[in-house]
Amino acid sequence: MENILELKDLCYSYTKNSPKVISGLNLSFEAGKIYAIVGKSGTGKTTLLSLLSGLAKPTSGKIFCEGKDISKIDRYDYRSKMVGVIFQSFNLLPYLTAVENVILSIDISGIKIKNKKEYAKLLLKKVKLEEEDINRSILKLSGGQQQRVAIARALAYNPQIIFADEPTGNLDLETQDEIMSILRMLADEGKCVIVVTHSPDVSKKADTIYELKPNKA
């Protein structure tokens, strides 16, 4: 299977004269699999996710998405249409309901859908949010329920790549397993799922584990 995402000699440092956080990284990712990015604190896991999701630009090296250098793709299009991001802290708008958060993501992406509310409800049901919680305020949902909403929001524009930054970090073990089963479902549907995690239990559920090492340069 062809790589959907590929890194070639990727390097990153915070300033011109500071040490490299990431140095000469070469990794590849296929559709239909879950990848776990692991490593000790300070090895650049979250920085790597920021680079992959287009939130930061590499100091040198290239990131290719479906064969295209992402530096040559419109940054807004890349982030709002090609990749979906799930955050540990959920990053949902608390004054909106679950379904309204997903509709907002649809609006931001600019995709044309006849009935956005019904589509958003379908996505929320897909991630196992109960019917009675779909119209509830985010502040009235548990952590596990909020993470489901965050996943549905990331799926709103049907991206082929899902990035998840410690998606189970704030959840109990039972809910962690439920969230990972949803991510597995997405991989089985053909999406590439890339998870940054400190949890050995989460990384064991991945198809491939990439461990980042401290940069000694």
CA distances from 91 to 41, 76, 118, 147, 165 (A): 22, 18, 22, 9, 12
According to the model, what pLDDT value does residue 20 have? 87
Supply the pLDDT for residue 81: 84
Query: Domain residues for 128?
Result: 3-211
pTM: 0.93
Per-residue model confidence (pLDDT) at position 4: 95
Residue 216 lies in a domain: no
pLDDT given for residue 134 in this prediction = 96
Do residues 86 and 150 lie in contact, with contact meaning Cβ atoms separated by under 8 Å?
yes
Residues of the chain with pLDDT under 50: none
Could you tell me if residue 217 is inside a domain? no
Counted domains in the chain: 1
- Look at residue 197 in the predicted model and tell me its pLDDT: 94
The pLDDT tens digits for 9-35 are 999 998 878 888 999 999 999 999 999
Assign residue 158 the CATH number of its domain.
3.40.50.300
